[in-house]
Structure 1
């Protein structure tokens, strides 16, 4: 798949920078509903791409690097870079495709990266796809978004997946069932390798220990359940926590807000879309 073949032409918004400004290029904004059957196989674009899951979760693969992304993360994929996307739950994908002439300054944007999505960046993306601003306002939205990207640090909090095939299979199983109670030794035995091999694969491939990674995948899954309306007392055991209080504490440490506040803010943002 290449170009914009996967996009619904009824929802794409294509426009040119206002003629009153120096014309540097063009950008397109799209919204697509996705579910667990949606998959965009390896493809590339002539434009730079910003990809944001305003809801749901995406596994993005670029040059052998796999990451699970939610609404806290914005993926930057430069023009010509082959990538693929998979989705494990219903959600909404918002993308911006822009002429490379419009990218932020500096060589750091020649490769793929993820950055944190703050409230303003998320609001700008929703405004571009919903309000369909024209002329100077559209250009100003893009200019502000580029300014936010330029000052944003790399986001290493996105959920990376290990590259080693056996460790990747374990990671995929835990993403599918985050409440699975098996520890490192049991998973290693299941895969037919030593615990040290799996531990090393997680550390080298994700930057976290197996235990730390499993906490993150549980909270990653919890975030999606909360946005879809599940109650905190139901989410906690569903992602492997015996104690609701323990779950709330871990969630607050990861997202800096309680599960209830996270869910309310997320649904408010989506409701305004």
Structure 2
């Protein structure tokens, strides 16, 4: 996957196990997003609409498991630890001439070794209100834009109070916290790709490393270093 490639919104009839053999993948549903370094894979249940993208160059590997043959009952996307055995089984299942018996045996081993791991997701809902959505799109295009809500109101032709109500009603959080989450979700992908904290902090609108780390800790409960060390 070259940098910026997006597999747009879709769903599968089979369960999918998505893994980055190199680089970093981001998988999004309507409610949440998972940033996956090589040490994590994501189990995506059949029928769950999602999109997959890569901020930088990545190699995506996937296994597909038939629901009728699968004892896993997870109804939501679930992060799992990516072990060397998991990688070998994905490669084995990619063989197009694999017969039904061997495929079933390999699928059974694959699902048996999958172990869920805790992973903090940074939820960012987009507002439905037209003017709030316009602001959200502009901030998404330039995360370092630090205009106040009053300034944004003047830019899109509405009041600060109207925008504040729209963000709270549509996203469940205040404008300030929504922007923080948007910035941090973007930062997670860059950090997972190996970008220095200082560079990432400035790119997403923080004047100092410490301010960025404090915001990250408030939202996720851990520092950026701990987030990736724990696969949090």
User: Which of 45, 51, 55 is matched with 2:24 structurally?
Assistant: 55
Return 5+ residue gaps in structure 2 as ranges: 93-101
Aligned to 1:90: 56
Aligned to 2:6: 39
User: What per-residue deviation string (whole Å, max 9, x for no partner) do you get for residues 90-148 of structure 1?
Assistant: 2544544321222634xx82xxx444x3xxx1324x74235647676763341343x74
Aligned to 2:112: 143
Aligned to 1:122: 81
Aligned ranges 1:212-251 → 2 under 5 Å: 212-251=177-216
TM-score by length of 1: 0.60
Cα distance, 1:85 vs structure 2: 2.4
Which is richer in strand?
1
User: Which of 87, 95, 104 is matched with 2:72 structurally?
Assistant: 104
Asked whether 1:190 is paired with 2:155, we answer yes
User: What per-residue deviation string (whole Å, max 9, x for no partner) do you get for residues 216-266 of structure 1?
Assistant: 122222222223332222222222112322222222333444334546x49
Against the structure 1 CA distance between its residues 255 and 199, is the aligned structure 2 distance closer, same or farther, given a 3 Å change threshold?
Answer: same
Cα distance, 1:73 vs structure 2: 9.1
User: Which of 109, 128, 132 is matched with 1:167 structurally?
Assistant: 132
Whose RCO is larger (CA < 8 A, sep 6+)? 2
TM-score by length of 2: 0.68
User: Which of 196, 201, 204 is matched with 2:169 structurally?
Assistant: 204
| Corresponding residue SS for 1:175 | helix
User: What per-residue deviation string (whole Å, max 9, x for no partner) do you get for residues 133-184 of structure 1?
Assistant: 7676763341343x749xx89x774333233344333323323321110122
Cα distance, 1:196 vs structure 2: 3.7
Cα distance, 1:212 vs structure 2: 0.7
